[in-house]
């Protein structure tokens, strides 16, 4: 019987020591990493034949649109649902994205990444949900760029691969730069443009980015990170200079 | 002053309800099993309906309403659906103001595409990930309200029970999915917005969290559950081991064609069988056609259960602009380029038309203070939901439930919030329940049992339903309930214990599986998604009524209530000829004339 061999980095809780556990599950065509973890749930026995606990992990949509199942697979941070077994070298190693708080095994807490969106006011500041007529018209070109950015799932992969992002550093994370660009491009979102740039001016802001470009090559949704980061850096600089003269 | 609303579920419906309750002056707490931005609403692809009439084709909310009722085979509550369709243009405008990057026309207006069961281009869209884009916009607005301290989120907390005090809903009990802590939270009103239950069927197009257990919990606590037997099977999905992946109806809306080989030549069977609507027949119709072609006629591609969904005749650049997101899914998970080769698809469990019963004016359930909205509620779609009406009903019902809960609270003489004694007692009760789960030491694996139930339900309670098989299914579900008692909780961890959580969910999923099957067995007719070869016709004399399921220890108790038919008289539903176009205009004129009469 053809099998899939997996080596999974596990830990019982945030501060517990981590250890590797190996598994061997029956192969099925078109199988992905999540399908393997589901097999382990149904038969929690390791490769040595010893009973163990099912591996804790996050998943939801299984079609790479929700951002839940990020983990480090064969050394690369990515979504587990789209990691097809046929394309992976075995034994397949699975590790949690440890730049974030590890709850257990592959299960992590990415709250910091969501909080960052709040800091840069990643929203259009509407007056409310009451009837106020149609939204502003804008061009297809602007819409298409905003759409490309708006597919960011806050999956955390860009943070995991960033040498400047960790729980010990202040950097807010690469993912906010495209959001700032997108909301500043929206005709009404632009009303809060300066506030968004200001939020990225100081400690933990956009200049903590060391331009490694790891985020650019790792983003599963090919969000325009390179252009966004460059643009935000330049705008934050100009905004800073401008404020020197107006204060 | 009483002002505390708890919302369970952070998808489109839950967040819309939260936003509007907060705007009405309520303090809102949102509970979600995932960070709300990861809710299943992100999976909706094709678009959202609204007769904004920017195409100059004469579309009206009245026609949208007619198509919705006709498409739902006359089982939807008409006033609810009418209000939804009338409000749809305002909803599109609101989400446009929130900044959703809707696909645009050259002039910068919202673009609209075609969808099934409706002849006019009525579906606004953002590429082919419209649900994701709408979801993100409401997530952003709720984050703004969170910043203003009007909303508080409890993410990675699982709802495990409502607190009923003096026959009113007085709060909830929830469990932290990281620390496993069980805690009671008081509230003046609670809104359930926990989505569909596709995961009861094992593999479906739904996300893994859509197991229906929250609805199952309130059902077991005495909340009525309506039309459980109506489950939508989407005609076009990619079958998979972990899930079936949806290939949006928008693929056909943009010109995609369904075919298979017959006598060595391509056979566009939907176009042949339904010349008036072609590939854009409603989902129940397309699904039955594909089933018949593959299973009865054995004409599936390569002799397997699959047919082609073909886009290869359409310009690749246009495809990328309008359908890019789903083409990527196909490429990524199947490996073929759908711009060059036709996609292979087969029907899959997709949407839950039935759901928690609520009064559709207020969205309050039969328990005062407990509300429901979104896919977990039943009002809008009847026997079959039209494509692109799900995002609309999620948003619209949320926008009704939020203010309605606020109104209810403003009318209370004193706060409903559970007292500290009651909260402590509830925590104790659920801690004891959890301890019992951890102590389960049988031989059954809960994930395997779930899998078996999924296979059973998929084989017997989906496209074609036969009474002897439904009876057998009920018997087996009873056996499963016995086997459930013999589960082994293999994980004892006090941290991120997903096995123990799943064991609890499975219990409530089983109750709903039983209710779906019992409802299907009782309904001896064919209507929308519910098809019985033994009773192939719709039977309005006996079955134009809503099924109401009530929980009992011995299984579901069924009763029936009238459907709201106050606007459109039921007619035969056909799609080989066009019997719906222009009916909206007639209806609007008739109602306007009736309004004039009333004034006199």
Strand order in the sheet with B343-352: B245-246, B231-238, B343-352, B307-310, B257-262, B265-267
Which of helix, strand or coil describes residue A54? coil
A247 pLDDT exceeds 70? Answer: no
Residue A44 is nearest to which of B37, B243, B490, comparing CB atoms? B490
B545 pLDDT exceeds 80? Answer: yes
Question: Quick one: A64 and A153 in the same domain?
Answer: no
B396 pLDDT exceeds 90? Answer: yes
Which of A4, A33, A63 should one mutate to test binding to chain B, selecting the residue with the greatest count of B CBs within 10 A? A63
* CB B415 within 8 Å of CB B2: yes
Question: What value does the mean pLDDT of chain B take?
Answer: 97
pLDDT tens sequence across A109-147: 999 999 999 999 999 999 999 999 999 999 999 999 999
Per the omega criterion (within 30 degrees of 0), is the bond before A91 cis?
A: yes
Task: Say what the pLDDT of residue A202 is.
Answer: 86
* Closest to B509 in 3D by CA, of B456, B465, B462: B456
Q: Where are the alpha helices (DSSP H) in chain A?
A: 33-42, 111-119, 140-150, 157-161, 176-185, 193-199, 214-218, 225-246
B482 pLDDT exceeds 90? Answer: yes
CATH number of the domain that residue A81 is part of: 3.10.20.30
Q: Do A62 and B499 touch (CB under 8 A)?
A: no
**Residues B235-349, CATH architecture:** Alpha-Beta Complex (3.90)
Question: Quick one: A120 and A168 in the same domain?
Answer: yes
Both tokens assigned to B339:
């711009």
Angle at which helix B12-23 crosses helix B130-147, to 10 degrees, equals 30
Residue A129 is nearest to which of B19, B34, B246, comparing CB atoms? B19
Measured in whole angstroms, the distance separating CA B392 from the mean position of its chain's CA atoms is 11
Element (H, E) at A102: strand A101-104
B507 touches chain A (CB under 8 A): no
Instruction: Spell out the domain ranges in chain B.
Output: 4-44+126-232+351-419, 235-349, 424-553
* CB A64 within 8 Å of CB A79: yes
Number of separate domains in chain A: 2
Which fold, B424-553? Methane Monooxygenase Hydroxylase; Chain G, domain 1 (1.20.58)
- Tell which of A52, A81, A109 closes a domain: A109
Question: Quick one: A96 and A180 in the same domain?
Answer: no
B43 pLDDT exceeds 70? Answer: yes
Average pLDDT over residues B154-168: 97
A246 pLDDT exceeds 80? Answer: no
Question: Quick one: A52 and A97 in the same domain?
Answer: yes
Task: Say what the pLDDT of residue B596 is.
Answer: 82
Q: Which residue of B has its CA nearest to A101?
A: B178
Alpha-carbon gap, residue B8 to B218, rounded angstroms: 12
Residue B93 is nearest to which of A65, A84, A134, comparing CB atoms? A134
CATH code: domain B4-44+126-232+351-419 is 3.50.50.60
Average pLDDT over residues B521-526: 98
Question: Quick one: A185 and A218 in the same domain?
Answer: yes
Q: Do B493 and A104 touch (CB under 8 A)?
A: yes
B53: left (phi over 0), alpha (psi -120 to 50) or beta: left
Query: Binning pLDDT at 50, 70 and 90, where does residue A168 land?
Result: confident
Q: What is the nearest CA distance from A119 to chain B, expressed in angstroms?
A: 9
Is B483 catalytic? The answer is no
A207 touches chain B (CB under 8 A): no
* ipTM, 2 dp: 0.97
Transcribe B454-523 into DSSP letters: HHHHHHHSSSS--HHHHHHHHHHHHHHHHHHTTBB-----SSS-HHHHHHHHHHHHHHHHHHHHHHHHH-
Burial environment of residue B278 by CB neighbours within 10 A (0 to 12, 13 to 18, 19 or more): middle
* Chain A residues 179-198 with CB within 8 Å of chain B: 183, 186, 188-189
Query: Binning pLDDT at 50, 70 and 90, where does residue B2 land?
Result: confident
Q: Do A186 and B99 touch (CB under 8 A)?
A: yes
A241 pLDDT exceeds 90? Answer: no
Alpha-carbon gap, residue B153 to B35, rounded angstroms: 9
Residue B242 is nearest to which of A35, A64, A114, comparing CB atoms? A35
Q: Which residue of B has its CA nearest to A122?
A: B140
Question: Quick one: A98 and A152 in the same domain?
Answer: no
Average pLDDT over residues A35-60: 98
Q: What is the nearest CA distance from A152 to chain B, expressed in angstroms?
A: 10
Both tokens assigned to B375:
């896919």
Task: Say what the pLDDT of residue B597 is.
Answer: 79
Over pLDDT 70: what percentage of chain B? 100
Residue A66 is nearest to which of B103, B207, B240, comparing CB atoms? B207
Which residues constitute the domain of residue A191?
111-246
* CB A58 within 8 Å of CB A108: yes
* Chain A residues 130-149 with CB within 8 Å of chain B: 130-140, 143-144, 146-147
* Chain B residues 142-161 with CB within 8 Å of chain A: 143-144, 146-147, 155-156
Transcribe B421-434 into DSSP letters: HHHHHHHHHHHHHH
pLDDT tens sequence across B69-99: 999 999 999 999 999 999 999 999 999 999 9
Residue A147 is nearest to which of B16, B127, B140, comparing CB atoms? B127
Question: Quick one: A40 and A119 in the same domain?
Answer: no
Question: Quick one: A101 and A134 in the same domain?
Answer: no
Q: What is the nearest CA distance from B421 to chain A, expressed in angstroms?
A: 32
Q: Which of B283, B288, B465, B504 is catalytic?
A: B283
- Tell which of A42, A76, A109 closes a domain: A109
Task: Say what the pLDDT of residue B349 is.
Answer: 98
Query: Binning pLDDT at 50, 70 and 90, where does residue A239 land?
Result: confident
Average pLDDT over residues B6-10: 98
Question: Quick one: A138 and A92 in the same domain?
Answer: no
B598 touches chain A (CB under 8 A): no
Average pLDDT over residues B250-277: 97
- Tell which of A57, A80, A109 closes a domain: A109
Average pLDDT over residues B252-262: 97
pLDDT tens sequence across B13-23: 999 999 999 99
A238 touches chain B (CB under 8 A): no
A173 pLDDT exceeds 90? Answer: yes
pLDDT tens sequence across B321-331: 999 999 999 99
Question: Quick one: A147 and A65 in the same domain?
Answer: no
Q: Do A65 and B147 touch (CB under 8 A)?
A: no
B550 pLDDT exceeds 90? Answer: yes
B594 pLDDT exceeds 90? Answer: no
B86 touches chain A (CB under 8 A): no
Size of interface A-B (CB pairs under 8 A): 194
CATH number of the domain that residue A175 is part of: 1.10.1060.10
Average pLDDT over residues A159-186: 96
Task: Say what the pLDDT of residue A138 is.
Answer: 94
Question: Quick one: A240 and A141 in the same domain?
Answer: yes
């Amino acid at each position: 019987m053809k099998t899939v061999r997996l080596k999974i980095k596990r830990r019982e809780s945030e501060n517990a020591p981590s250890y590797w556990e190996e598994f061997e599950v029956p192969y099925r065509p078109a199988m992905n990493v999540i399908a393997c973890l589901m097999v382990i749930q149904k038969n929690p026995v390791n490769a040595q034949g010893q009973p163990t606990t099912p591996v804790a992990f996050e998943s939801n949509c299984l079609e790479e649109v929700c951002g839940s199942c990020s983990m480090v697979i064969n050394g690369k941070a990515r979504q587990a649902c789209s990691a097809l077994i046929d394309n992976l070298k075995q034994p397949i190693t699975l590790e949690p994205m440890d730049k974030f708080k590890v709850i257990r095994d592959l299960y992590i807490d990415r709250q910091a990444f969501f909080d960052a969106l709040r800091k840069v006011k990643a929203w259009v500041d509407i007056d409310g949900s009451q009837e106020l007529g149609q939204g502003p018209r804008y061009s297809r070109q602007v819409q298409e760029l905003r759409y490309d950015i708006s597919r960011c799932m806050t999956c955390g992969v860009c943070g995991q691969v960033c040498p400047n992002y960790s729980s010990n550093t202040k950097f807010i994370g690469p993912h906010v730069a495209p959001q700032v660009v997108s909301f500043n491009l929206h005709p009404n979102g632009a009303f809060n443009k300066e506030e968004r740039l200001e939020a990225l001016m100081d400690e933990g802001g956009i200049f903590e980015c060391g331009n490694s470009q790891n985020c650019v090559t790792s983003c599963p949704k090919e969000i325009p990170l390179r252009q966004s980061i460059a643009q935000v850096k330049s705008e934050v600089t100009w905004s800073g200079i401008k404020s020197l003269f107006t204060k | 002053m009483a002002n505390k609303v708890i919302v369970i579920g952070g998808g489109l419906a839950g967040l819309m309800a939260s936003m509007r309750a907060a705007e009405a002056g309520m303090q809102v707490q949102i509970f979600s099993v995932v960070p709300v931005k990861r809710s299943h609403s992100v999976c909706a692809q094709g678009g959202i309906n609204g007769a904004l009439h920017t195409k100059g084709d004469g579309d009206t909310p009245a026609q949208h309403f007619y198509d919705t009722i006709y498409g739902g085979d006359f089982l939807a509550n008409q006033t609810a659906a009418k209000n939804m369709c009338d409000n749809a243009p305002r909803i599109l405008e609101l989400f446009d103001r929130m900044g959703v990057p809707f696909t645009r026309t050259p002039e910068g207006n919202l673009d609209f595409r075609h969808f099934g069961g409706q002849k006019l281009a009525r579906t606004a869209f953002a590429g082919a990930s419209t649900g994701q884009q709408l979801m993100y916009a409401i997530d952003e607005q709720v984050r703004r309200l969170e910043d203003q301290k009007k909303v508080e989120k409890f993410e990675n907390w699982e709802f495990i029970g409502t607190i009923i005090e003096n026959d009113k809903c007085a709060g909830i009990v929830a469990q932290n999915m990281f620390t496993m802590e069980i805690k009671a939270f008081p509230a003046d009103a609670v809104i359930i917005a926990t989505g569909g239950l596709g995961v009861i069927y094992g593999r479906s197009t739904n996300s893994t969290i859509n197991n229906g257990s929250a609805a199952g919990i309130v059902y077991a606590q005495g909340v009525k559950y309506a039309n459980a037997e109506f489950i939508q099977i989407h005609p076009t999905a990619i079958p998979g081991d972990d899930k079936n992946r949806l290939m949006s109806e928008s693929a056909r809306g943009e010109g995609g064609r369904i075919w298979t080989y017959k006598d060595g030549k391509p056979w566009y069977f939907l176009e042949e069988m339904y010349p008036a609507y072609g590939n854009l027949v409603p989902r129940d119709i397309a699904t039955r056609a594909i089933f018949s072609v593959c299973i009865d006629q054995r004409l599936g591609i390569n002799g397997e259960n699959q047919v082609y969904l073909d886009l290869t005749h359409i310009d690749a650049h246009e495809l990328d602009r309008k359908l890019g997101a789903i083409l990527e899914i196909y490429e990524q998970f199947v490996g073929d380029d759908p711009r060059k080769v036709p996609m292979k698809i087969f029907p899959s469990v997709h949407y839950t038309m039935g759901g928690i019963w609520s009064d559709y004016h207020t969205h309050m359930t039969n328990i005062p203070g407990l509300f429901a909205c979104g896919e977990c509620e039943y009002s809008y779609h009847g026997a079959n939901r039209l494509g692109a009406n799900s995002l609309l009903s999620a948003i619209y019902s949320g926008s009704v439930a939020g203010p309605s809960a606020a109104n209810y609270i403003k009318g209370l003489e004193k706060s409903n919030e559970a007292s500290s004694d009651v909260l402590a007692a509830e925590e104790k009760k659920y801690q004891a329940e959890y301890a019992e789960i951890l102590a389960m030491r049988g031989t059954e694996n809960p994930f395997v049992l779930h899998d078996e139930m999924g296979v059973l339900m998929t084989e017997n309670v989906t496209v074609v339903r036969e009474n002897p098989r439904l009876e057998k299914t009920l018997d087996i579900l009873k056996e499963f309930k016995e086997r459930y008692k013999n589960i082994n909780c293999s994980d004892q961890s006090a941290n991120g214990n997903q096995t123990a959580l799943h064991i609890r969910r499975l219990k409530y999923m089983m109750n709903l599986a039983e209710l779906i099957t019992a409802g299907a067995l009782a309904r001896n007719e064919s209507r929308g998604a519910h098809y019985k070869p033994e009773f192939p016709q719709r039977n309005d004399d006996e079955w134009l009524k809503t099924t109401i399921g009530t929980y009992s220890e011995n299984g579901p108790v069924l009763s029936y209530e009238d459907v709201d038919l106050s606007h459109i008289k039921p007619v035969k539903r056909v799609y080989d000829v066009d019997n719906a176009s222009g009916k909206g205009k007639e209806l609007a004129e008739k109602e306007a004339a009736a309004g004039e009469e009333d004034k006199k």
